[in-house]
């Protein structure tokens, strides 16, 4: 008669979990979700993508401001073109005639003979050191680039939110898988204890000559089969534990806090049409696609404005010469207005505009595809949750009926009025019903988490939003 308390341990497992003072399921899961959002490596990588987009926007905005740079050049030259000036050939005959006239008057010659000049086109050594200031006055592509980068930054933020929500769902489902495997292990362990008791009772009946030895052997074979099943379920529990800790970026064998699952039948969802509307308004994937579409439109504007003229103000100041010196003959400064208008580039600008327009149309289609996918996700999650909840009552009734049948079979076995096949069949039916109820109970919670993800309900930490 020792089998009944063991049976209660398997079937009343949810009630025992609550009686042991464990925290509520939603509280424990929320704590683990917050931990995962802070430690998950994939989400940290996406945060760096947001930082990159932020700096790209800062880079685009920096083009509005003046650019100041220092430039220095030192040159050594040899050879090159020379400019010959025959100044001697031109002036020397005149100077000779003048000198002859002076000599005839008894005066000294005062006009020298001049050699021809040869001026090299390149200086043998030269330096040019300057400060260069450039300030765009009219550059229409800068504004378009800033707006495009701003939209890309917003899209990157929404992508991080989408990954965070996916991580929230995965952590919740991984925790449910661990609870489910853990509960299944306890159910199989309880079944193993029942079969050990069955072996003891049958051995006693055989010793007293009430049954034959084949029933004892059958009982032992059934117990060994359940032991093998227990090892398989324990392995599933370990795998679920490792995957859960992987999502949280923890040691794979770190302990997990158990919890008391809530009443799976509680809760009532809105109508499907309302859930569709909520999902399309909340899902970050929709906002991300909208921002990417906006960025594509700005890229079209950027490509078109590359054909427009630009105007910039430029100031150059520094020193030039063969030596590094300051002062007259070395210092210089210039101020310029630079107007640029590209008149022809072989059709390159037009090709870039058409390429950007094609990308924009592609992003519009992508947004429509994402909306359809979200509607499908919501409908599938909604239908699966309804089916899981409908199956739960049936699974519970099946488990209760199997428990009652097993209690009767246990009494008959103790009195020796039932054969071993009937008792083992009652035990197998009970274990199968308990495992099915356990699976269905956690399946409802998993489907609820899927629907929450599909409709993007549930708050995220402030730093993720």
* Assigned domain for 224 exists: yes
**Is 445 within the bounds of a domain?**
yes
Which of 69-78, 83-92, 413-422 has the weakest average pLDDT?
Answer: 413-422
DSSP 93-139: HHHHHHHHHHHHTT----PPP-PPEEEESS-SEEEEEEEEEEEEEE-
Domain that holds residue 303: 3-67+139-309+346-455
Q: What is the pLDDT of residue 49?
A: 93
Could you tell me which residues come within 8 angstroms of residue 80 by beta carbon, excluding any fewer than 6 positions away?
Answer: 120, 121, 122
Distance in angstroms (rounded) separating the CA atoms of residues 435 and 233: 11
Which of 325 and 83 is assigned the larger pLDDT? 325
CB contact at 8 A, 17 and 257: no
Q: Is residue 83 part of a domain?
A: no
- Residue 319's φ and ψ, nearest 5 degrees, are -130, 150
Q: Tens digits of per-residue pLDDT, 427-455?
A: 888 888 888 898 898 999 999 999 999 99
Closest to 8 in 3D by CA, of 422, 410, 425, 443: 410
Is residue 164 domain-resident?
yes
Confidence of residue 266 (pLDDT cuts 50, 70, 90): low
Q: What is the pLDDT of residues 122-173, one digit of tens each?
A: 778 889 999 999 999 999 999 999 999 999 999 999 999 999 999 999 999 9
DSSP class of 77: -
| 275 exposure class (CB count in 10 Å sphere: 0-12, 13-18, 19+) | buried
User: Is 87 a domain residue?
Assistant: no
Across the chain, mean pLDDT equals 85
Would you say residue 284 lies in a domain?
yes
Of 38, 164, 90, 35, give the one whose Cα is nearest residue 456: 164
Taking residues 297-302, report their average pLDDT: 93
Q: Mean pLDDT over residues 4-31, rounded?
A: 57
Nearest to 194 by CA among 225, 240, 232, 164: 225
For 28, the token pair is 């424990």
Predicted model pTM = 0.77
Per the domain annotation, does 318 fall within a domain? no
* Rounded CA separation 297/301 (Å): 6
Domain CATH code at residue 242: 1.20.1600.10
Phi, psi of 136 (to 5 degrees): -70, 130
The SS3 assignment for 87 reads helix
Query: Higher confidence at residue 457 or residue 339?
Result: 339
> How many angstroms separate the CA atoms of 417 and 414, rounded?
8
Smallest Cα–Cα separation from 94: which of 76, 112, 79? 112
What domain count does the chain have? Answer: 1
C-alpha of 341 from chain center: 42
3-state class of 20 per DSSP?
Answer: coil
- Residue 313 three-state SS: strand
> Does residue 434 fall inside a structural domain?
yes
73: Cα separation from own chain's centroid: 47
Question: Hey, which bits of 297-456 come out as E strands?
Answer: 310-321, 331-340
């Amino acid at each position: 008669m020792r089998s009944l308390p063991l049976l209660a341990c398997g079937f009343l497992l949810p009630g025992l979990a609550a009686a042991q003072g464990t925290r509520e399921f939603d509280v424990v899961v929320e704590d683990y979700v917050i931990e995962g959002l802070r430690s998950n490596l994939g989400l940290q990588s996406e945060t760096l993508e947001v930082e990159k987009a932020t700096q790209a926007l800062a880079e685009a905005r920096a083009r509005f401001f003046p650019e100041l740079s220092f430039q220095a050049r030192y040159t050594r030259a040899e050879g090159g073109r020379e400019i010959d000036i025959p100044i001697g050939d031109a002036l020397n005959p005149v100077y000779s005639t003048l000198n002859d006239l002076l000599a005839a008057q008894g005066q000294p010659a005062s006009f020298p003979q001049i050699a021809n000049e040869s001026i090299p086109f390149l200086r043998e050594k030269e330096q040019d050191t300057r400060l260069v200031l450039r300030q765009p006055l009219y550059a229409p592509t800068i504004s378009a680039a800033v707006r495009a980068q701003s939209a890309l930054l917003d899209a990157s933020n929404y992508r991080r939110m989408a990954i965070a929500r996916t991580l929230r769902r995965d952590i919740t489902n991984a925790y449910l898988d661990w609870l489910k495997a853990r509960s299944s292990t306890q159910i199989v362990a309880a079944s193993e204890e029942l079969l050990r008791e069955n072996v003891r009772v049958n051995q006693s009946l055989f010793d007293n000559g009430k049954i034959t030895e084949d029933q004892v052997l059958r009982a032992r074979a059934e117990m060994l089969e359940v032991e093998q099943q227990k090892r398989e379920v324990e392995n599933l529990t370990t795998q679920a534990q490792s995957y859960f800790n992987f999502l949280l970026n923890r040691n794979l064998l770190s302990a997990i806090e158990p919890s008391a699952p809530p009443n799976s039948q509680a809760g009532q969802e809105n109508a499907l049409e309302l859930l569709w509307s909520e999902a399309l308004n909340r899902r970050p994937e929709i906002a991300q696609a909208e921002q990417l579409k906006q960025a594509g439109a700005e890229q079209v504007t950027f490509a078109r404005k590359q054909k427009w003229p630009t105007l910039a103000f430029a100031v150059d100041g520094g020193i030039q010469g063969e030596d590094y010196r300051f002062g007259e003959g070395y210092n210089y400064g210039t101020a310029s207005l630079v107007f640029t208008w590209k008149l022809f580039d072989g059709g390159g600008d037009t090709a870039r505009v058409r390429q950007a327009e094609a990308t924009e149309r592609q992003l519009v289609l992508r947004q429509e595809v994402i909306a359809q996918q979200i509607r499908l996700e919501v409908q599938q999650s909604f239908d699966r949750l309804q089916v899981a909840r409908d199956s739960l009552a049936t699974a519970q009734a099946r488990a209760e009926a199997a428990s009652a049948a097993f209690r009767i079979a246990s009494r008959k076995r103790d009195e020796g009025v039932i054969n071993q096949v009937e008792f083992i069949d009652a035990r197998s039916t009970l274990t199968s019903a308990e495992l099915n109820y356990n699976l269905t109970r956690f399946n409802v919670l998993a489907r609820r988490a899927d629907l929450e993800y599909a409709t993007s309900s549930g708050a995220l930490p402030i730093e993720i939003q």
